[in-house]
Structure 1
Amino acid sequence: MKKALIFCSILFLSLSFYAQTGTICHYKIVEFKEFEIKKPDDEAHRNAIKRLNQARKATLKFDFVLEFKDSVSSFQLVDRMDNDVNMPGSAKIGHAMIGSGEFYQNTKSGVWLKTSEATGKKYTIQDSIDFDWIVTKETKIVNRFTCFRAELPENGTIKEVWFTPQIPASFGPLGFGGLPGLIVEVKRGTFVLSLVEISTSQPVNIKKPDFGKLISAEKYNKMLDDMRGTIFKQD
């Protein structure tokens, strides 16, 4: 009984510590399925797949950082190396495949922001924090933390994440959040992004993005749809 009380006390202090101090989490691409050549006789197709696989390899060097403190968080790619002369532009393509820009969340105000560039202009896309997660009973250990699996049905696909209640912060990479614990792993499409390091020893100063024009997610998506429609009409 005494051991159980000691454990509960340590766990409570740990939870309070993560909740009240600034925290920096480093994420890496730990798995990325190789693109397959489906038209071996098509040289253009082979070259395109080759470029995609070079970009896929480049993403394995990326360093993503999630910072959070109190009710706010920021997630972005902080290191994109593209110095290999044998793979020019691979990092840029890889960045596009994973997702660019900064993701910002404020759980107190319910604001979700993402910075983006389109049609040569800068935008800060605003939405609400509203995730319809389906939490399962499945568990696994990720980087020493006990995690639960959650699914997010969206646009005909299911995005899978693993979160840990051991860190009571409802944030995660790539703009995900809204779960009773930190998201430590995301499976999206053919790649897996996972937590590799966590630190509370560095100062955290999170600022609300001020990047170009502020626009709602609904208007931004409509703008992109209209732009695609115009391109297809020209074809």
Structure 2
Amino acid sequence: MLRQSLFYFFIISLSLSSYAQTGTICHYKIVEFKKFEIKKPGDETHRYAVETLNKAREAALEFEFVLQFNDSVSSFQLVNQMNNDVNKPGVAAIGHAVIGKGKFYQNSKKGIWLKTSKTAGKKYTVQDSINFDWVVTKETKIINGFTCYKAELPENGTIEEVWFTPQITASFGPLGLCGLPGLIVEVKRGTFVLSLVEISTNEIVDIEKPDFGKLISAEKYNKMMDKIRSTIFDKN
């Protein structure tokens, strides 16, 4: 009887554990990416730099990103880079740098936002609070079968707009964006558009809190980056 009770306890525990790890997996790809223009045709250095950026752009169009989430926790990161002729050593790295590097993690219950970053040869996990001042508009459009609403971040200089769907009641999205009443399906950032291409529900998700180098606040990290940028510009 004791052995049978232990067996049932084990089955129930296993079921609860599996349920706790069940969530949603979303695949995103870059669906639009403007070509970089050669503005100084006579400048060979400029021409070479722009041609390299456009090769990186082509490589980035092959990147695949994955967002995983359950009721309260999410992670987002690049999961693979296609090995083709355009994706030569260095070019893919430039493409990744253009769209943004690192792994994003959010815990909505604890209000924690994390991003991994490698800066000046050192590893950091940047921590911030989840605080996005979204302005939701009445503008709608259909993206991959979902009715989506447009939202903007007026104080943000890089995120032009996002589209989210209340049909999926998860306040997560790609690139560390979150806090809307529905899944963020598409992001327009600078010269590229990142869009949801596939979604699977009731999947086993593996969401780990980043442990990448030194933990630093977003405020201190931004001050450090400003100092690095000013040093570079002073030298030039």
Map 1:147-186; keep pairs closer than 5 Å. 147-156=148-157, 159-186=160-187
* Aligned 8 A contact 2:186 2:196 in 1: yes
* Aligned 8 A contact 2:59 2:87 in 1: no
Matches of 1:63 and 1:156, distance apart in 2: 25
Matches of 1:27 and 1:157, distance apart in 2: 19
Q: Does 1:40 align with 2:41?
A: yes
Q: Does 1:56 align with 2:40?
A: no
- Aligned partner of 1:84 in structure 2 is 85
- Provide, for residues 77-129 of structure 1, a one-character-per-residue CA deviation record: whole Å limited to 9, x for no partner: 00023552784421100000011110000110100000000111100000010
Q: Which runs of 4+ in 1 moved over 3 A?
A: 85-88, 155-158, 231-235
Matches of 2:87 and 2:95, distance apart in 1: 15
Paired AA for residue 75 in structure 1: F
Matches of 1:178 and 1:86, distance apart in 2: 35
SS in 2 for 1:22: strand
**Long gaps (5+) in structure 1:** 1-19
Distance 1:86 1:229, change over 3 A: closer
Identity of aligned residues (%): 76
Post-superposition shift, 1:136?
0.3
Matches of 1:28 and 1:58, distance apart in 2: 12
Greater C-alpha Rg: 2
- Aligned partner of 2:5 in structure 1 is none
Matches of 1:158 and 1:65, distance apart in 2: 19
Q: Aligned residue pairs: how many?
A: 216
Post-superposition shift, 1:157?
5.3
Distance 1:45 1:197, change over 3 A: same
**Long gaps (5+) in structure 2:** 1-20
SS in 2 for 1:195: strand
Please give the TM-score of this superposition, normalised by the length of structure 2: 0.87
Matches of 1:114 and 1:204, distance apart in 2: 19
What is the Cα-based RMSD across aligned positions, in Å? 1.7
Matches of 1:39 and 1:175, distance apart in 2: 36
Compare 43-52 and 224-233 and name the one that shifted more.
Answer: 224-233
Map 1:119-130; keep pairs closer than 5 Å. 119-130=120-131
Please give the TM-score of this superposition, normalised by the length of structure 1: 0.87
Matches of 1:46 and 1:233, distance apart in 2: 25
* Aligned 8 A contact 2:159 2:187 in 1: no
Paired AA for residue 195 in structure 1: L
Map 1:1-235; keep pairs closer than 5 Å. 21-84=22-85, 87-156=88-157, 159-235=160-236
